[in-house]
Structure 1
Amino acid sequence: MRNWPNPFIEQRADPYILHHEGQYYFIASVPEYDRLALRRADSLEGLRSAEEVVVWHKPDTGPMSELIWAPELHHIEGKWYIYFAATHTQALDKLGMFQHRMFALEGTGDDPLNARWIEKGQIKTPFDTFALDATTFVHQGKRWYLWAQKAPDISGNSNLYLCEMENPWTLKGDPVMLSKPEYEWECRGFWVNEGPAVLVHGNKLFISYSASATDENYCMGLLWIDMNADPQNPQNWHKAPRPVFTTSYENRQYGPGHNSFTQTPDGEDVLVYHARNYTEIEGDPLYDPNRHTRLKLVRWDKNGMPDFGIPPADTL
């Protein structure tokens, strides 16, 4: 069993690790929510001490000037892309929600830490509402965009949507809703499905996601589909009725979630997530900086389903 230091990287929430051509790249939300910063190393362990390079800083005004959240780095057809959410104000709207929309940067060059980054603007969806936590993946020969968004006609903060892409910053066709908060554990504090991440194993494609408020109630749920089934038909998707990764009071790990997946050089699947090691938060949990990045190997059961286990205790 691989045991990484825990926390792996401190004060980095919504972590994303890309393994590309033998290199590991790390990006995450910073406590100040004001910039996008990358690390690179030739090993997972090396990311802990790797130099962090700021590749973009939010402007003083405009739609990307506040609360830069949940960035992801992707390499698509020879170029680099960073997807993130941002807003023009820290104020809440009339529904009591933040006003984020989704944006993309495009980088050229072999090295994203030294790339020339161009703002590609907002990634627009059919309704102009709170939207965040985008990821992208290739499946059945098509590129897909997967994200969380508030629906005008559905209660709660966000549901999960899937849509084919015309290009890395434009959607194609109509999105389908894959999941909405419906179970009790998805509706604690807030009705939330967010932070989707894709994992393929055997004959199944899995989507993990996070649910409920970002305190100790935060937890992970799971969707899955047969690899040959039509992903645009919601009936083909299965949803776990219980959370698959939750707070461990015994190990003092609270609110594990907003995960991504990467792999070891040997091809073992790694869960990349954040969690706090205390529950006594003063003020809004969003502004508490101590959601630390953590790593854990994914086990697979005899039915080809992931077993995420229990968040391990701190070792540092």
Structure 2
Amino acid sequence: MKVLLCSTLLFFTVVLTCAAQRVKQGKSAEFKDEKPGFFVNPIGNGADPWVIKHENFYYVCQASGGADGMRIVVRKSDRLSRLGKAVTVWKAPAEGWNRTQIWAPELHHFHNKWYIYYAAGKAGPPYIHQRSGVLESVTSDPQGAYIDKGVLSTGKDIKDETGAIWAIDVNVGRINGKLYAVWSGWEQNSNTDKTSQHLYMAEMSNPWTIRSERVKISSPDQPWERGGPLDLNEGPQFLTNAGQTFIIYSTRESWTPEYRLGQLRLKDPRKTPLDAANWEKTGPVFQGTPAVFGTGHASFTSSPDGKENWILYHAKKTTAPGWARDWRLQKFTWKADGSPDFGVPVPAGTPVKVPSGELQ
């Protein structure tokens, strides 16, 4: 979500069909294991996969849409390689800033409560109304009811009805005991969705309140982040290892085969992360192959026994422009310097050994 006239026409065609395709989610992919102890990708249909491990279960959060409106569902499974049944935990209201275009919900656990961070808009296309909000669980059950905690302060715009600047893909994590939010946003609100996206970060006073001014920590300024119809950084995810903090994010265009992952590393953990100069950019750290297209918007977890690290990401089903995507799962390791080594994406249908400690 820009060169020759034909490219421009193609761009508008893609944008006008984004709504239904971006939020269209299917049930878990049906497949037969090649042999016991193995699974094959894809493990599900849809985009922007989010998984969190809690008390021996895996919870997957995703957006869904139907005749009765848009919703957020949470799946529960004792297996990482198999998705559980979808349970609706929240439905979008009939009116308001978050009426439609529910994108990329994430499920987080703080202080015995669950919080879902999501993007939504009052209309679209064009996708100029996207803002980010928070839901809080009523109980300690991640598949229970949620209440709406409102819009996050992702930049100030007093002319906008929400008071916020365009923002999607909020991720939340702790650095040195402090809670921070990182997201993809615009420098200012615009009347066109052909607007470049950057990564912003701010400190939070609690899971539903941003307390500090936002700071831009990354822009699509590297050759491997540029070259398509729109330059963007999006889908940021905190990832920690051996005392180091990383932000793994998506770049290039999500509707093209060139969608890929980049990396930011906090250079000095003793200094504030709210300083762009304290982040070191590397990339691409994970990208497609002739057999796997558009690898992006990842989340991370560990195997049931905690001995392995796994990446859950989406890939395009074909090379054609569009948002027909599915979910892929594979193990990753760590390099000598402590940074993640995601390897090469495994083609669909290739037998993959199940995560360590997973029940058969």
User: What TM-score, normalized by structure 2, do the two folds share?
Assistant: 0.78
Specify the SS of the correspondent of 2:305: coil
Structure 2 counterpart of 1:41, one-letter code? S
Match of 2:151 among 97, 112, 122: 122
Relative to structure 2, which stretch is displaced further, 133-142 or 181-190?
Answer: 181-190
Matched, 1:262 2:312: no
Matched, 1:169 2:197: no
Unaligned runs of 5+ in 1: none
Shift of 1:153: 9.8
Hey, what does 1:107 align to over in structure 2? 137
Matched positions, count: 298
Hey, what does 1:78 align to over in structure 2? 112
Shift of 1:263: 1.0
Shift of 1:135: 0.8
Once residues 38 and 246 of structure 2 are traced to their aligned partners in structure 1, the CA distance between those partners, rounded to angstroms, is 24
User: What TM-score, normalized by structure 1, do the two folds share?
Assistant: 0.88
Matched, 1:201 2:265: no
Specify the SS of the correspondent of 1:112: coil
Matched, 1:293 2:322: no
Matched, 1:184 2:184: no
Hey, what does 1:239 align to over in structure 2? 281
Distance 1:26 1:230, change over 3 A: same
Segments ≥4 residues shifted beyond 4 Å: 153-156
Match of 1:98 among 128, 132, 151: 128
Once residues 274 and 231 of structure 2 are traced to their aligned partners in structure 1, the CA distance between those partners, rounded to angstroms, is 24
Unaligned runs of 5+ in 2: 1-36, 157-163, 351-360
Specify the SS of the correspondent of 1:243: strand
Once residues 7 and 135 of structure 1 are traced to their aligned partners in structure 2, the CA distance between those partners, rounded to angstroms, is 24
- Identity, in percent, stands at 35
* Backbone CA RMSD of aligned residues: 2.1
Once residues 201 and 299 of structure 2 are traced to their aligned partners in structure 1, the CA distance between those partners, rounded to angstroms, is 17
Whichever of the two has the greater Rg, that structure is 2
Hey, what does 1:7 align to over in structure 2? 42
Specify the SS of the correspondent of 1:34: strand
Once residues 163 and 261 of structure 1 are traced to their aligned partners in structure 2, the CA distance between those partners, rounded to angstroms, is 22
Structure 1 counterpart of 2:95, one-letter code? T
Hey, what does 1:65 align to over in structure 2? 99
Once residues 219 and 303 of structure 1 are traced to their aligned partners in structure 2, the CA distance between those partners, rounded to angstroms, is 22
1:142-170, Cα deviation, whole Å (9 max, x unpaired): 11111111003999421111111111111
Once residues 258 and 130 of structure 2 are traced to their aligned partners in structure 1, the CA distance between those partners, rounded to angstroms, is 22
> Is residue 12–residue 31 contact of structure 1 (8 Å, CA) maintained in 2?
no
Once residues 28 and 217 of structure 1 are traced to their aligned partners in structure 2, the CA distance between those partners, rounded to angstroms, is 23
Relative to structure 2, which stretch is displaced further, 125-134 or 203-212?
Answer: 125-134
Once residues 269 and 76 of structure 2 are traced to their aligned partners in structure 1, the CA distance between those partners, rounded to angstroms, is 32
Once residues 112 and 19 of structure 1 are traced to their aligned partners in structure 2, the CA distance between those partners, rounded to angstroms, is 11
Matched, 1:20 2:54: yes
> Is residue 65–residue 71 contact of structure 2 (8 Å, CA) maintained in 1?
no
Structure 2 counterpart of 1:122, one-letter code? V
Shift of 1:3: 5.8
Hey, what does 1:230 align to over in structure 2? 272
1:153-210, Cα deviation, whole Å (9 max, x unpaired): 9994211111111111111122221101112332322111000011111131111000
1:49-97, Cα deviation, whole Å (9 max, x unpaired): x2111111222222111110000001111111111000011132xxxx5
> Is residue 178–residue 203 contact of structure 2 (8 Å, CA) maintained in 1?
yes
